[in-house]
Amino acid sequence: MKKNLFKTMLGLVICGAFLAGCGNGGGDAKADDKSDGKVTVGFSQLGAESQWRTANTKSVQDAAKNNDKITLKFSDAQQKQENQISAIRNFIQQGVDVIAVAPVVETGWETVLTEAKDANIPVILVDRQITGKNVDELYTSWIGADMKEEGVKAATWLEGYLKEQGKDQEQMNIAHLQGTTGSSAQVGRTEGLEEGVKANKNWKIIEQQSGNFTRAEGKEVMEAFLKSSGDKINVLVSENDDMTMGAIQAIEEVGKVPGKDIIIISFDGTNDALQQIKDGKINAVIECNPLSGEDIMETATKIKNGEDVEKEVFVEEGIFDAKNVEENMPRPY
């Protein structure tokens, strides 16, 4: 079951080498220090901004609870990078075996992750990715989704849908609700969508702003879109289900019919969002899978034991729309 989550595996990392301070000259491996087989994982979760995030946190906590070899230290950063940096420093001070972090934004991790490396504590990136000079050397494994591919899927789905509706030659004005600015989820999904817009000469993004992945901000930003572009909007692409829920409320409040007057594409695949597909208010949801807890614990354990792990693990994902929604409900989150 769990193996089905894996789509692609890229590269191998020899953890033993990493733990021995490979390229960094840093002392004895943590794995050699203790022999009780127990693994202490410090997890810096970025926040609790969405249903996806809540499901991800629960998955991590349940996986730790169900594994008597794992001790989990959990910290919620409330969507603030500085809180994540302090949490990581705390984990280093406590001498955890492995640090897992879901990075709120892509940049600005070099200093603190170098501190972890200098302390010989391996790092697992969860969900989102990081960028910067030589950052590949600062983590052992990343487990998450291909965000750009998700954006591409949104555009491809829209092409197909418009063809089916006989609307592929019409002008399509797109309002684009983005996730947290500078997060790899926002950057990737935006890149994928914008490629699709470039390839379709009759599509245009007429509104684009972040709603920070929350329902409240999604509603607020959609209200602003409707105020300035009102009747011109044909399509809403919203980078997560929570913002989409808020946007639907805003659309209904101005007397428009979501899913009909405005085609709506969302990301994640919560049960609430699939219910909205059933109700005709959302046209498609690009799945993003938050259930990575067991994979994180398995990877942490392998790292502690000096076994090989994959450098990048992509989670497998689908697309939900009116054609397959019934067979995919209820959702686990």
Identity (one letter) of the amino acid at 52?
A: W
Among 20, 45, 120, 127, binds ligand GYE (CB under 6 A): 127
Site for ligand GYE in 276-295 (CB under 6 A): 288
Name the phi and psi angles at 241, rounded to 5: -65, -35
Strand spans (E) along 165-282: 172-178, 203-210, 235-238, 263-268
Q: How far is the CB of 333 from ligand GYE (least distance, A)?
A: 11
Q: How far is the CB of 86 from ligand GYE (least distance, A)?
A: 21
Choose between 67 and 180: whose C-beta lies nearer to ligand GYE.
180
Quick one: CA torsion of 308, 312, 315, 317, rounded to 10 degrees? -150
Please tell me whether residue 141 binds ligand GYE under the rule CB under 6 A.
Answer: no
Residue 70 makes CB contacts below 8 A (sequence gap 6+) with 38, 39, 40, 41, 63, 64, 297, 300, 301
Please tell me whether residue 153 binds ligand GYE under the rule CB under 6 A.
Answer: no
* C-beta atoms surrounding 48 within 10 Å: 15
Choose between 18 and 192: whose C-beta lies nearer to ligand GYE.
192
Angle at 324 between CA 319 and CA 326, to 5 degrees: 125
For the record, the structure tokens of 28 come out as 């004895």
Number of residues that bind ligand GYE (CB under 6 A): 13
Site for ligand GYE in 167-226 (CB under 6 A): 185, 213
* d(C-alpha 123, C-alpha 134), whole Å: 15
For the record, the structure tokens of 174 come out as 């797109």
Query: How far, rounded to the nearest angstrom, does the alpha carbon of residue 58 sit from its chain's CA centroid?
Result: 15
Q: How far is the CB of 253 from ligand GYE (least distance, A)?
A: 23
x/- letters, 248..267, toward ligand GYE (CB under 6 A)? -------------------x
Among 39, 41, 42, 52, binds ligand GYE (CB under 6 A): 52
* C-beta atoms surrounding 177 within 10 Å: 27
Choose between 12 and 216: whose C-beta lies nearer to ligand GYE.
216
Among 129, 238, 240, 244, binds ligand GYE (CB under 6 A): 240
Q: Applying CB under 6 A, which residues contact ligand GYE?
A: 49-50, 52-53, 127-128, 185, 213, 240, 242, 267-268, 288
